[in-house]
Amino acid sequence: MQNINLKITRAKNTIKNGMNDPTTVIMVILVVVLAYLVIAPIGSMVINTFTVGVRDSSVSGGNVGDITGAFYKRVFNSRVSSVYFYKPLMRTLFVAIMVSIIAIPLGGLLAWFMVKTDLPGKKWMSSLMMLPYIMPSWTFAVVWLTIFKNRRLGGSAGVLESFGFTSPDWLAYGAFPIIICEAFHLFPFAYSLFSNSLKSMDIQLEESARIVGAPRSVITRRIILPLMLPATLSAFLLIFTRVIGSFGTPYILGTGVKYTILPTSLYAAFRSGETGVTAVIAVCMILVGVMLISLDSFLLKDNKRFVTIGIKGSIQRLTPLGIKKPFFVSFVLIVLCVTIFIPLFTLVTSTLTILPGVLTKENLTLVYWIGDTLPSMPGQLGLLRNPDVLGSVVNSLKTAVAAAVLSGFVGIFIGYVVIKKSHSMSGKFLKQISFMPYLVPSIAFAAANISLFAVRRGPVPALYGSMMLVVIVMAVKYLPYASRSGIAAMMQLGNDPEEAAQICGAPWRKRITRIVVPIMKGSLVGGIMLPFITAMKEQSLVIMLATPGTELMTTQVLRYTDYGYMQLANGVVLMIVILIIVFKLVIEKLTGAQATSGLGR
């Protein structure tokens, strides 16, 4: 009897103690909600791969809900397997390898110039080099189409055509432009990997080689290059994950000639209503994504053997470029010109000229911005008067702000809980799960969410087609950035400041509002800024979620490129870039923080 009484008291007190410290409650809520938003979609999609769905029965036969192997068979072993899966897979691999072959040497070379040589004007060059990060990944594709478009697709003519040159199909569409455009977008990414790696390399390794009498060329070949090997592997794997995750470029440049890679193949299956097949392709993409990133972090761990962090503030010895300097400077300038100035210039001029690219006075026009009948675009109004465009601007801003703020705050709370409960299983689980969306290619994650939210499940309503779903999916997908920054900030802060407030008698609510959140403000800004920029450029994640009522700027661009309305597409791209830059400047001004540091990954 006494024993039972004791047990009851214990249970009561344990509950009371738990309520006293809301950290536990928050942790439980976060774990449950995130498990639902991260694991459940993937689970539901995996179920879709072997059960007959409402729209599937024509493929699989059988009744809705039956278990079937038909979708796996269709993807892996049927007449259409090569169209749906094998060809896209091989092409994805091919594109990734070709992109790496271009982007890695280019990025590495530029990193070497910037870090190790006395190239003039390094400072502004290296900040320009980060500009492609701010531009959507598929900007180049839009620009490419604007320049090289031929009559194969309808709509307005390409720039070259207005000068009387009709580009052949291989130049206008398919593998070649996709590879070039992806490479142009991704080389700054290789650049930042290499320049970080070069900067952190212990200068003494080089100096000791110099002391034993090694000439500079030998040092580069025998010391620096081998030490760069891990960064190279890492760059390749991450470029591969980027190619798998990117939808816009292959869609814009590949669809016309049926050059599909995995993300576009998934989209095609989705559009033709094959839920089961979509799910199988998505699961494959997720597996590949998980494999690549695990391989990368495995290599990263293995790199501990290569730890070469130098003494703090060690000064780089700069290689003089000597008489070859003008040659190298022009090389860098050409790269910047091709990857930044020409695209931006093309975007701007194409929206201001009737015959695209022809810069004569009578050819200039503002009709694409403010006109009410546009040449060869029936029923469209100029950008600034076009209800579709304006509506998409509002939708984009709304969703980006909502998703960014949501993931920023959740990120902070995850950081808070993870640090406070660092030893508990749930704390570790929370940390893991908040990073998981990073492993899942965007378009596959969207597919997974559609499969979960297509119908009402218990208390959760069917959200497909709503703005809410777009916001939720974005917030979850960007959570890895936000929670990483939250965890890092909390780690640095530690528990002490909050505990000191607790000692002073501050209840939990006061500790959060007066101590934790104000101290974390800086990292909160970063945790909001990065998701905002990403959300404004997001295409892969939202293309399947967008419905006529929830069109975003990025999906609007795709509609216009579909119709061949390049001027309108370009105008919207410009508006995106401008909005991002304005937002970034305003936030940096307001907070004095470099919000885009850490944009690298």
Segment interacting with another protein (CB under 8 A) among 5-13, 152-160, 447-455, 477-485: 5-13
Nearest to 353 by CA among 341, 344, 345, 362: 362
Segment interacting with another protein (CB under 8 A) among 67-75, 327-335, 498-506, 588-596: 498-506
**Residue 120 binding another protein, by CB under 8 A:** no
**Residue 362 binding another protein, by CB under 8 A:** no
Among 31, 131, 506, 574, binds another protein (CB under 8 A): 506
Distances (CA, A) of 117 to 198, 220, 322, 362: 12, 13, 10, 47
Site string (7-46) toward another protein, x via CB under 8 A: --xx--xx-xx--xx-------------------------
> In the chain, what's the furthest Cα-to-Cα distance?
99
Angle at the Cα of 179 (from 331 to 546), degrees rounded to 5? 120
* Footprint (CB under 8 A) of another protein, residues 420-439: 423-424
Please report how close the Cβ of residue 7 comes to another protein at its closest, in angstroms.
10
DSSP, residue by residue, 420-448: HTTTSHHHHHHHHHHHGGGGS-HHHHHHH
Identity of the residue, 362 or 496, whose beta carbon is nearer to another protein in the bound complex: 496
**Residue 509 binding another protein, by CB under 8 A:** no
DSSP, residue by residue, 69-101: SHHHHHHHSSTTHIIIIIHHHHHHHHHHHHHHH
Phi, psi of 267 (to 5 degrees): -65, -40
**Residue 513 binding another protein, by CB under 8 A:** no
Identity of the residue, 220 or 502, whose beta carbon is nearer to another protein in the bound complex: 502
Identity of the residue, 94 or 409, whose beta carbon is nearer to another protein in the bound complex: 409
**Residue 515 binding another protein, by CB under 8 A:** yes
**Residue 519 binding another protein, by CB under 8 A:** yes
Query: Which two tokens mark 511?
Result: 């500790």
Among 510, 513, 549, 594, binds another protein (CB under 8 A): 510
* Footprint (CB under 8 A) of another protein, residues 377-406: none
**Residue 491 binding another protein, by CB under 8 A:** no
Q: Residue 51 CB: number of other CB atoms within 10 A?
A: 19
Q: Residue 579 CB: number of other CB atoms within 10 A?
A: 18
Identity of the residue, 221 or 428, whose beta carbon is nearer to another protein in the bound complex: 428
Q: Contact at 8 Å (CB) between 284 and 291? A: no
Helix (H, G, I), strand (E, B) or coil at 457: strand
Among 229, 338, 504, 590, binds another protein (CB under 8 A): 504
Nearest to 199 by CA among 217, 177, 224: 224
Q: Contact at 8 Å (CB) between 105 and 98? A: no
284, HSE (Cβ side, Cα atoms, 13 Å):
22
Helix (H) and strand (E) counts in the chain: 32, 0
Among 500, 578, 585, 586, binds another protein (CB under 8 A): 500
**Residue 503 binding another protein, by CB under 8 A:** yes
CA 222 to CA 230: how far, in whole Å? 15
> Tokens 């991260």 label which residue?
38
Identity of the residue, 315 or 425, whose beta carbon is nearer to another protein in the bound complex: 425
**Residue 590 binding another protein, by CB under 8 A:** no
**Residue 492 binding another protein, by CB under 8 A:** no
Please report how close the Cβ of residue 8 comes to another protein at its closest, in angstroms.
10
**Residue 70 binding another protein, by CB under 8 A:** no
Which residues here bind another protein, judged by CB under 8 A? 6, 9-10, 13-14, 16-17, 20-21, 423-424, 494, 496-497, 499-507, 510, 514-515, 518-519, 521
